[in-house]
Amino acid sequence: MFRDRQEAGQMLADELAKLTLQDPVVLALPRGGVPVAAQIAKALKAPLDLVIVRKVGAPDNPELAVAAIVDGEPPDVVLNREIVEAYRLGDDALRVLIAKERGELERRRAAYRGEHAPLSAEGKTVILVDDGAATGTTMKVAIRALKHRSPRQIIAALPVAPPETVGELAQEADLVLCLSQPAHFRALSYYYLNFQQLSDNDVLGTLEEFAQARKADLGDGNRRSAGHAVKKSRHASSQ
């Protein structure tokens, strides 16, 4: 059991630090994945961003996903082909359903990211993070969309998920890192002592706090590099 999402993120970061990761970027699934991912990005000194996914429901059954839209430039549409075929949805019908949800995706993008463009995944080691998964559907969709963006590698990182979900994610990602895999999976909140519901403001607060800390860290690094260069210059001029 994890104390909270922050502790889960620190534990995942400890495991990820044991790997050789080239050009890592950390992408969180909001809302719950954000505080987990922030701890990972902080420990790895990597940039942090979001992957915003919006489900496209079937006609007369909005809980059943026929597709999902994943934020990007441009957004990716990932189809659930079995459901599309079961409902006999043609291209025109799909376009109508997708258009209905695109507005909500844009609203979430504006709320979370503003005018900032998504981080590029091209050539990067992408670490995709959530606070846990029961079925892993959202993470699977996100992985499929990220594959279109030419990453070096995709690592799915999550604190807890049932073994069958981990197995399914392993078929999508290059590597799955899951700290706990209970055979009899309960509600996600069962695995946290503190599992408070997060709001958009909580997400924005975590992102802002991370951005300020990273800016300060990069500033310190630049000053240290500049100081080292000055010392070398003085040493060279004295010879």
Q: Domain with 22 in it: what CATH number?
A: 3.40.50.2020
- Report the relative pairing of strands 175-180 and 24-28 from DSSP bridges: unpaired
Burial of 56 from C-beta contacts in 10 A (0-12 / 13-18 / 19+) = buried
> What tokens were used for 83?
């459901």
Is residue 226's pLDDT more than 70?
no
pLDDT at residue 74, rounded to an integer? 85
Within a 13 Å sphere around the CA of 51, how many CA atoms are in the beta-carbon half? 31
Please report, as a single letter, which amino acid is at residue 95: R
pLDDT at residue 120, rounded to an integer? 94
Taking residues 5-23, what's their average pLDDT? 97
How far, in whole angstroms, is CA 163 from its chain's centroid?
A: 20
Do 155 and 213 fall into the same domain? Answer: no
Do 42 and 125 fall into the same domain? Answer: yes
Do 171 and 135 fall into the same domain? Answer: yes
- 159's CB contacts (< 8 A; 6+ apart) are 2, 5, 8, 11, 12, 36, 131, 132, 178, 179, 180, 191
**Residues above pLDDT 70, as percent of the chain:** 92
**Residues above pLDDT 90, as percent of the chain:** 79
Is residue 224's pLDDT more than 60?
no
- Taking the CA atoms of 111, 99, 101 and 77 in sequence, report the sign of the dihedral they define: negative
Instruction: Give the residue from 72, 93, 85, 92 showing the smallest Cα distance to 27.
Output: 72
Q: Which residue has the higher pLDDT, 226 or 178?
A: 178
Do 26 and 95 fall into the same domain? Answer: no
Is residue 223's pLDDT more than 90?
no
Is residue 27's pLDDT more than 80?
yes
Tally of domains within the chain? 3
Do 73 and 125 fall into the same domain? Answer: no
Query: Residue 77 is part of a domain; what is its CATH number?
Result: 3.30.1310
Q: Which residue has the higher pLDDT, 236 or 169?
A: 169
Is residue 170's pLDDT more than 80?
yes
Is residue 220's pLDDT more than 80?
no
CA distances from 210 to 71, 121, 214 (A): 21, 19, 6
Taking residues 203-209, what's their average pLDDT? 96
Do 185 and 142 fall into the same domain? Answer: yes
Do 177 and 239 fall into the same domain? Answer: no
Domain boundary among 97, 116, 135: 116
pLDDT at residue 218, rounded to an integer? 81
The tens digit of pLDDT for each residue in 108-154 reads 999 998 888 889 999 999 999 999 999 999 999 999 999 999 999 99
The tens digit of pLDDT for each residue in 75-116 reads 899 999 989 999 999 999 999 999 999 998 998 999 998 888
pLDDT at residue 128, rounded to an integer? 98
Burial of 77 from C-beta contacts in 10 A (0-12 / 13-18 / 19+) = middle
Structural domain for 110, as ranges = 51-116
pLDDT at residue 217, rounded to an integer? 84
> What tokens were used for 212?
């300020």
pLDDT at residue 229, rounded to an integer? 45
Mean pLDDT, all residues of the chain: 91
pLDDT at residue 227, rounded to an integer? 54
When computed from its CA atoms, the radius of gyration of the chain, rounded to whole angstroms, is 20
Taking residues 202-221, what's their average pLDDT? 89
Global pTM?
A: 0.88
- Rounded to whole angstroms, the Cα distance separating 152 from 21 reads 10
Domain boundary among 92, 116, 140: 116
